[in-house]
Every structure is written in C-alpha cells, then in structure tokens.
C-alpha cells in the first residue's frame, strides 16, 4: 500500500510542476502548444513502445474485448443522456468522452500492480491499448465535431500519427518480430518522457482553467456518471458473462479510473472547451483516489 501511495504521489508531483510552471513562472505559456507536442510527437512513440511489447495471448485479448464492450455501453448510455439533456456537439463530446476515455495507463497499470499483483500487467496493458485506440478514433471524432464538419472530423483521425504507428506495432507484435535492444531502450526513454509530460500538461491546464467552472450541471453530471454508471456497467458485464479471476478484477479496476488527461489534449487541440474539461479531469482524479480503493476492497 505504501508503494502505491509513493508511486501515485510521485505522479502528482509532476502535476504540481506543471501547475507551478504556468501559475508562477510562465503565465503566458500556451497549453495548446504542449498538447500538439504530445499528440503529434511524443504519444506516437509511447504507443509504439507499448503496443510492440504487450503480450497478446487469448486470455489477455478476451479481457481487451470485454473492456471494449464496457466502453461501448458507456458511450451509448452517456450519449443518450447528452441527447436527453439537449447538449450541443461540444457538451456531448465532453460528457461522453470523459466517461469513456479513462486513465487506464498512468494510474490503471500501477494500481493494478499494487492491488492485484504482477499477473495483472498484461491485462491492464491490453485494456490500456483499447483505451488508446478509442482515444485516437472516437475521441478525436467527438472532440472535433464541435468545430469541424463530419468529413473534417474523420480526416482529423487520419492526420494523427498515433493510429498508424499503433497498427505497425501490433503487426510486428503478432508476427513476433523482435526489435533491436538499443531501439527498445530508446523507445522506453521516449515513452517515459511522454508519460511525464502528460502529467505536467495536466498541471498547466489546472493553473489555466481550474477556477473557470462555467457549467456546473455538466461538471456534476459527468462526475456522477463516472462514479456510478461505469462501475455498474462493468459489474453487469462481469455478471452476465460469468467472468472471474484477473479478468474480472482488471475490468472493475479500469472502470473505476478517473478521466484521462488526454481529454485535455484533444479538447485543446480541437478547441472544444478545454476550460470545461479541466475541472472534470481534476475532480474525477481527486474523487477517484477515494473511489478506487473503496470499490476494489468492496469487490474483494
């Protein structure tokens, strides 16, 4: 437990670095430029590193498929809710994506190691692969629709290099192509740099937008949906398909994760109200620190 505390605490130190940088040292720092750096250059290396090394056996792949089902059901439910609430394209994107794109990597993987053990690593990695693919397809599409046409929103998906490198990495992985050790070492450095910058970016956005809560209903709806609906969907899938063991544990764990920081990058890049997304990501992360252990201990 103490290892988990120090691990997560170290992550939030990087958030504090970003907050201090923007708030006190560089108030004019443009967070959108950091999002561009992340999405176009650093994230592709992180994804290639993760996808080329992830073990892809039947048990792991089935867990990934069940997590895809959970995300699909969450997307359908939150989209229907956004229609009922008569939200426009931007608010629809914010409500749906903040309940589908979750922090399955930076938090999901280390928390899985702490609560479940090293056996969870292939499973949490696989569910994170699903989250990445959804992020750079549906995430890009939904966040684009607030300011782009249908055609341009679809084209935006193809413009980002992440999916192309992910496809190459998966093909290499499935064909058991071994990459040179020196190149893998370089990719690991690239990947860790990407993770660190992602957390610094969160701090920068918090310094810029945390106090700008313009739509309290959107914030409360997104947080309540995140805290209650997603775990219910995950538990329903686990019960319906009679899942058990590591698969069930990982599915519940990942459904408890807070909204991903990548929501901020996509909202900023496509100008989809990043000031509304920032408090959602922050408060879901803060509440998640309590909800995650409670949910896991209850399941245990």
d(CA 17, CA 79): 35
Give CA separation, 201 vs 33, 37, 74, 120, 176, in Å. 10, 10, 26, 28, 35
**Structural domain count, the chain:** 1
- 9-12 long-range Cβ contacts below 8 angstroms, 24+ apart: 11/106, 11/107, 11/199, 12/199
Range of the domain at 285: 2-299
Give the Cβ contact number of residue 215 at 10 Å: 16
Dihedrals phi, psi of 46, to nearest 5 degrees: -60, -45
Residue 105, by phi and psi: left (phi above 0), alpha (psi -120 to 50) or beta? alpha
Note the pLDDT tens digit of each residue in 109-165: 888 888 888 889 899 989 999 999 999 999 999 999 989 999 999 999 999 999 999
* pLDDT band at 59; cut points 50, 70, 90: confident
* pLDDT band at 52; cut points 50, 70, 90: confident
pLDDT of residue 72: 97
Q: What is the CATH number of the domain that holds 292?
A: 1.20.1530
d(CA 82, CA 94): 10
CA of residue 64 relative to chain centroid, distance: 15
d(CA 127, CA 105): 9
């Amino acid at each position: 437990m103490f290892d988990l505390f120090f691990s997560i605490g170290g992550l939030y130190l990087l958030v504090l670095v970003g907050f201090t940088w923007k708030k006190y040292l560089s108030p004019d720092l443009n967070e959108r430029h950091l999002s561009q750096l992340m999405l176009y250059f650093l994230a592709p290396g992180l994804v290639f590193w993760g996808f080329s090394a992830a073990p892809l056996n039947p048990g792991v792949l089935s867990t990934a498929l069940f997590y895809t089902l959970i995300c699909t059901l969450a997307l359908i439910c939150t989209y229907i809710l956004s229609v009922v609430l008569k939200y426009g394209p931007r608010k629809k994107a914010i409500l749906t994506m903040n309940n589908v794109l979750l922090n399955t990597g930076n938090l999901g993987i280390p928390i899985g190691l702490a609560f479940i053990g090293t056996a969870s690593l292939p499973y949490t990695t696989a569910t994170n692969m699903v989250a990445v693919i959804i992020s750079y397809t549906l995430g890009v599409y939904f966040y684009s629709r607030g300011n782009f046409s249908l055609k341009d929103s679809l084209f935006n998906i193809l413009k980002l290099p992440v999916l192309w490198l992910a496809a190459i990495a998966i093909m290499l992985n499935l064909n058991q192509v071994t990459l040179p050790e020196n190149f893998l070492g370089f990719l690991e450095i690239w990947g860790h740099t990407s993770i660190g910058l992602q957390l610094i970016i969160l701090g920068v956005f918090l310094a810029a937008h945390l106090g700008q809560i313009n739509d309290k209903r959107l914030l409360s709806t997104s947080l309540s949906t995140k805290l209650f609906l997603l775990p219910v969907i995950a538990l329903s899938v686990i019960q319906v398909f009679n899942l058990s063991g590591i698969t069930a544990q990982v599915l519940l764990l990942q459904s408890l994760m807070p909204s991903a920081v990548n929501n901020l990058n996509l909202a900023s890049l496509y100008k989809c109200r990043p000031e509304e997304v920032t408090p959602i990501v922050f408060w879901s992360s803060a509440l998640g620190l309590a909800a995650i252990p409670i949910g896991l201990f209850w399941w245990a």
